[in-house]
Structure 1
Amino acid sequence: MTFISYAQNFEDVRLWRALKFFENGFYIDIGANDPIHDSVTKAFYDRGWSGINVEPMQNFHDALRQQRPRDTTLQCIASDKPGEVTFYGIPGTGLSTADTVTAQQRRDLGLDVRSLTVKARTLTSICEEHATGREIHFLKIDVEGHEETVLRGMDFSRFRPWIILIETPFERDHTWEHLITDAGYSNVCFDGLNSYFLADEHLNLKPAFDMPPCQLDNFQLCLGHPFAHPVSPSEADAMAQISAATQRAEHAEAQLRAIQNNRAWRALQKLRNVLRRA
């Protein structure tokens, strides 16, 4: 199957280059947002992967529950301690945040920022409940200024994602990076939007991050991707449905070819031909 990229900045292409040899992999998506548009995990889910989605906004949470039945989708935020917190939702966008400073900056820009009360959990507790005994192939964090608080709630000595990618200010003036590097991770790439970290025990994957996505990756942008051709939201939804149906058809054809190439299938066909001639 041709790799279809849904992510905002080719994040899924970079990750697939490193992880495409692993079947039925596992991811954690903190700030999952929409299940299709700008999704880092959509292409992986389509290839049989599954994981944990953490998403506090009701509409995105409901869409993820509906469209990702293999995933575990939690309506909460990841933080450094459990409880209830104020969350600043910006409907219809991926700009919602738990960070008060970021929320005020977006109010000043005229955005519709709405204060909500949401549940908070530590990333450690989420992993204890839903990822114990599993390899976490990648952890994606996109929380609009709330990164340090998320990281302080994770025990990296117990749970070791192979790859961590975190949305990072272009100025790279963040203060949280030591929380990852001190835990045995190396910063291997900055793509202008995200920083990528590899666990020291998986530094053999570093060559996958040495060059940007290119023709050799054999990928296509999803229909409606802003880098390809801008379309209206309704057109993008229709195109996404067509793309999903096409991928399901390609998968079914691949399964049929596998069955037809099976030795038992070929023997059955030969027997049928003999019986027809008898």
Structure 2
Amino acid sequence: MTFISYAQNFEDIRLWRALKHVEKGFYIDVGANHPTTDSVTRAFYDRGWSGINVEPVPSYYNALCQERPRDTNLQCAAGDNAEALTFYGIADTGLSTLDPAIAQQHKDAGMPVQTQIVSSRTLSDICEAHVDGPIHFLKIDVEGHEETVLRSMDFSRWRPWILLIETPWNRDQTWETLVTDAGYHPVVFDGINTFYLAEEHLNLKGAFDLPPCNLDEFQFRPGHSFVAPDTDLEQALIAERQRADRAEAELHALRNSRSWRAIEKLKKVLVRG
């Protein structure tokens, strides 16, 4: 089956190379943003994976709940404590941040920045509550808040195979020792993100040796920024996707309803009888 790429910069293709042998794997997406547009995890969800999406922006959180019913969607920020945090939102972008200095830069550039208070949970607490198996990759895109997120994770207990962390172009991130001291090795910088492999999974390094290419047999999703738009086709495909997402969400809700459980229990009684 042709791989459909949703990610902004081929991130999902690189990850799929390394992890395509895993069936129904598990991811954590900190700063998940939109469930489809530029999503690193959407392609994996479409192939049966599931995971945890951490997203404080209400509109994106609501969209995740609608389009990702198999996922655990958390409306909060990831931080080094459970205190409320000041969040600087920039609507319809991936630039919202917890960093006041970055927020000020966006204000100076003329962007509308809205301030709100959001709840915070440590990444270790999130894992404790929602992880019961291997974490195949952890993606962190939090616009300058990376160090705080990383400090909230117990890498001695929770060992994602791959870390994908947004990093500055000059790669002068002060937090990198938190990752390398925990036994993670940088394997590639793609211009936006750095990929790190856990030392116990360095056998996957070969998947990152070459940039994405035609041999990966992928296509971009309709409406991807790398594709010239075909407006009519794009709108039709988006509408079909939305209908499919609604149907999946309704089925998921039905299967978790009391009436569904009662019917299933009655079926078992009738079969035994």
TM-score by structure 2 length? 0.86
The match for 1:121 is: 121
C-alpha displacement at 1:172, in angstroms? 1.1
* Partner SS, residue 175 of structure 1: coil
The match for 2:220 is: 221
In structure 1, runs of 5+ residues without a counterpart are 247-278
**Paired residues, number:** 245
Given residue 117 of structure 1, which amino acid in structure 2 is its aligned partner? I
Q: Deviations over 1:63-93 (max 9, x none)?
A: 0001100000000000111110100000111
Q: Deviations over 1:210-253 (max 9, x none)?
A: 01000110000111111111577x9856433446889xxxxxxx
Within 5 Å, give how 1:188-199 maps onto structure 2: 188-199=187-198
The match for 1:249 is: none
* Partner SS, residue 195 of structure 1: strand
Within 5 Å, give how 1:169-184 maps onto structure 2: 169-184=168-183
* Partner SS, residue 160 of structure 2: coil
Are the structure 2 counterparts of residues 21 and 150 from structure 1 closer, same or farther at C-alpha, using a change threshold of 3 Å?
Answer: same
Are the structure 2 counterparts of residues 105 and 230 from structure 1 closer, same or farther at C-alpha, using a change threshold of 3 Å?
Answer: farther
Are the structure 2 counterparts of residues 113 and 6 from structure 1 closer, same or farther at C-alpha, using a change threshold of 3 Å?
Answer: same
2:82 is aligned with 1:82 = yes
2:122 is aligned with 1:101 = no
* Partner SS, residue 84 of structure 2: strand
The match for 1:161 is: 160
Q: 1: CA distance between counterparts of 2:160 and 2:17?
A: 17
Within 5 Å, give how 1:263-278 maps onto structure 2: none
Are the structure 2 counterparts of residues 129 and 3 from structure 1 closer, same or farther at C-alpha, using a change threshold of 3 Å?
Answer: same
Q: Contact 1:222 / 1:243 at 8 angstroms: preserved in 2?
A: no
The match for 1:60 is: 60
* Partner SS, residue 23 of structure 1: coil
Given residue 176 of structure 1, which amino acid in structure 2 is its aligned partner? W
Are the structure 2 counterparts of residues 170 and 235 from structure 1 closer, same or farther at C-alpha, using a change threshold of 3 Å?
Answer: farther
What RMSD over aligned residues (CA atoms) do the two structures have, in Å? 1.9
Q: 2: CA distance between counterparts of 1:220 and 1:240?
A: 16
Taking every aligned residue pair, what percent have the same amino acid on both sides?
Answer: 64
TM-score by structure 1 length? 0.85
In structure 2, runs of 5+ residues without a counterpart are 245-273
Work out which of the two has the higher radius of gyration on C-alpha atoms and give 1 or 2: 1
Q: Deviations over 1:129-156 (max 9, x none)?
A: 001x310000000000100010010000
The match for 2:261 is: none
The match for 2:9 is: 9
